[in-house]
Structure 1
Amino acid sequence: MTDERDRLLNAALAHVPFDGMNDKALMAAAEELGISRDMVRVHFPEGGASLAAAYHRRGDALLRDWMEKTPPEGRYAERVAQAIWHRLELVQPELVRAGATVLSLPQHAALGARLVWETADTIWNGLGDTSRDVNWYTKRATLSAVWGSTVLYWLGDESEGKAETRAFIDRRIENVMGFEKFKAQARKVPGLAALTDLATGWMRAPGPRDLPGKTKEH
């Protein structure tokens, strides 16, 4: 089943630049491979949205393997930037753009947000994050925002070698690290720590069943 799904994914992606990230690409791929339409629905129940999700998650899986075999080095900000940049290198702009078009539709917005979160989670886990408190959420939420804005910038970047995107990543990461430093210093101010705890006290450390990657994939 997995091999068939992978073959269908690869074949469908070849049609995406011409047909879009949709059922048309999936059905053309299925016809080429001799796979029934019913099996297409089994492997990609939401059509183009499932195809986009599969392509996105393949990129995350490749990033996970890369970080395990070649851990980023340098300052923490540099390591995060390296991970984001490498994640971009694992995908093709035209396929990402097609997927983003599908996932931006209202009925797929939740899936799109989840995929962004999963990428942030992959990066933090690859960097050895072991937080189990509110920081587990805030780190991923912050990096999700960075990743989302970076992809949009990257898609419109026409500079040689995407040099402007690399500079954009560095700026965003430095801003995030500066904010984290501010939070750490702010918590030393009498009374401010209590306000922070009050604002985020409803959150709890995630258990295994709470993690975003633990629910059924689309």
Structure 2
Amino acid sequence: MTDEQTPTADSVAQVRQAVLSAALPNVAFDGWTDRTLADAVRHAGVDPGLARLAFPRGGVDLALAFHHANDEALAARLETEDLAEMRFSERIAHAIALRLEIAAAEREAVRRAAALFALPIHAADGARAVWHTADTIWTALGDRSDDVNWYTKRMTLSAVYSSCVLYWLGDDSPGHADTRGFIDRRIADVMQVEKVKAAMRDNPLGRAFMAGPGRLLGGIRAPGAGGADLPGRWRH
């Protein structure tokens, strides 16, 4: 990239997509490594300077690009799905199953990414990636929460999704049928927790808590629409 060239967001995105496509055939053998990235940049024939902008941290950014590309594909699929006849719990289970279906063609790449994000140095990246998937699902399903529920929904779904991925990676049943059963059981477990929470809200002790210490939770708000890199905001 010469001094006269000014990279745009679109050009960087195009480089990211081209390099990711070139990398996927080798990830199963070499993992999400800097070597895989360097080979992919060469095979894709992209400008090395733009590649450094697209993947400033090397292989880990390549793995994150793969994860986010699958999240984008999930959002696009959910826009075309007719979920009107499903209960909400069924919609969530369906979204998780779709996300795994999208990744199925690159199952070994997912396994390699899971191993990478299990390393302490990349654990935070992995947690943010899973949170992004949970947020993608909730947003696609029309979640409008703007309080502490925005966080608890995504936190709970992140835990469910993570366990489903690990189960799916070890599932050798035809068509991964056992994974769908596992997803349904995990969602059922979450719904039981929601029933307990609802019962607590109807309980005199629960109401007393929400009127006292629980009031602090009422000031928590979801991240604003301005796109600030903050975990949320506090309403005074």
- TM-score under structure 2 normalisation? 0.84
Show structure 2 runs of 5+ residues with no match. Answer: 1-10, 231-236
Give the drift of 1:113: 0.3
Give the drift of 1:209: 5.8
Q: What is the aligned partner in structure 1 of residue 3 from structure 2?
A: none
| Aligned match for 1:39, one of 29, 41, 50 | 50
Letter in 2 for 1:204: I
Q: What is the aligned partner in structure 1 of residue 148 from structure 2?
A: 134
RMSD: 2.0
Q: Distance in 1 between matches of 2:73 and 2:97?
A: 13
Question: Quick one: structure 1 residues 65 and 50, their matched pair in 2 at CA, closer, same or farther if it must change by over 3 Å?
Answer: same
Q: What is the aligned partner in structure 1 of residue 224 from structure 2?
A: 208
Q: Which runs of 4+ in 1 moved over 6 A?
A: none
Secondary structure in structure 1 of the residue aligned to 2:172:
coil
Letter in 2 for 1:208: G
Q: Distance in 2 between matches of 1:21 and 1:117?
A: 20
Q: Distance in 2 between matches of 1:47 and 1:193?
A: 51
Write out per-residue CA displacement over residues 81-104 of structure 1, whole angstroms, 9 at most, x where no aligned residue.
Answer: 100000001112101011111111
- TM-score under structure 1 normalisation? 0.90
| Aligned match for 2:113, one of 79, 99, 123 | 99
Letter in 1 for 2:133: T
Structure 1 stretch 149-158 or stretch 100-109: which is displaced more?
100-109
- Are 1:13 and 1:95, in contact at CA under 8 Å, matched by a contact in 2? yes
Q: Distance in 2 between matches of 1:145 and 1:70?
A: 24
Q: Greater RCO between the two (CA within 8 Å, min separation 6)?
A: 1
Letter in 1 for 2:119: L
Q: Distance in 2 between matches of 1:15 and 1:44?
A: 17
Give the drift of 1:35: 2.9
Q: What is the aligned partner in structure 1 of residue 64 from structure 2?
A: 53
Question: Quick one: structure 1 residues 98 and 200, their matched pair in 2 at CA, closer, same or farther if it must change by over 3 Å?
Answer: farther
| Aligned match for 1:161, one of 151, 154, 175 | 175
Secondary structure in structure 1 of the residue aligned to 2:221:
coil
Structure 1 stretch 175-184 or stretch 193-202: which is displaced more?
193-202
Q: Distance in 2 between matches of 1:142 and 1:193?
A: 23
**Identity across matched positions, percent:** 47
Q: What is the aligned partner in structure 1 of residue 201 from structure 2?
A: 187
| Aligned match for 1:120, one of 131, 134, 145 | 134
Q: Distance in 1 between matches of 2:61 and 2:89?
A: 33
Q: Distance in 1 between matches of 2:137 and 2:118?
A: 23
Show structure 1 runs of 5+ residues with no match. Answer: none
Q: Say yes or no: does 1:82 pair with 2:94.
A: yes
Secondary structure in structure 2 of the residue aligned to 1:201:
helix
Structure 1 stretch 171-180 or stretch 14-23: which is displaced more?
14-23
